[in-house]
Amino acid sequence: MVTPIQRELKIRGYVVGQFPNPPLWVALAALVVAGLTNDGSTIDDLARAIFYVALTAWAYGEAAHGVNGLRKGLGTLALGLIVVGVSRAVG
């Protein structure tokens, strides 16, 4: 079925690109806010927390429900990197 807005890029029926979903947009917006604020400020800390939560939601969604093995692997890799990033921030 063809939709008015193309949300996926397919090559021979294999999805190789997809329009970002809402958790990824939120993560990217939070990352921009964190980059524009002073390190250690309340807004910076809040933006980084939102970034990690939104990115975790995106990564879990990809790992559990990705459209192909590449997307599932990307989600799993992202979850691992999030664990490392949060453990460094906490410890």
| Model pLDDT, residue 3 | 44
Q: Long-range contacts for 4-10 (Cβ within 8 Å, ≥24 apart)? A: none
Question: Which H or E element spans position 54?
Answer: helix 42-65
> Which tens digits make up the pLDDT trace of 30-78?
999 999 999 989 999 999 999 999 999 999 999 999 878 888 999 999 9
Higher pLDDT, 17 or 68: 68
The residue with tokens 């309340």 is 42
| Model pLDDT, residue 14 | 73
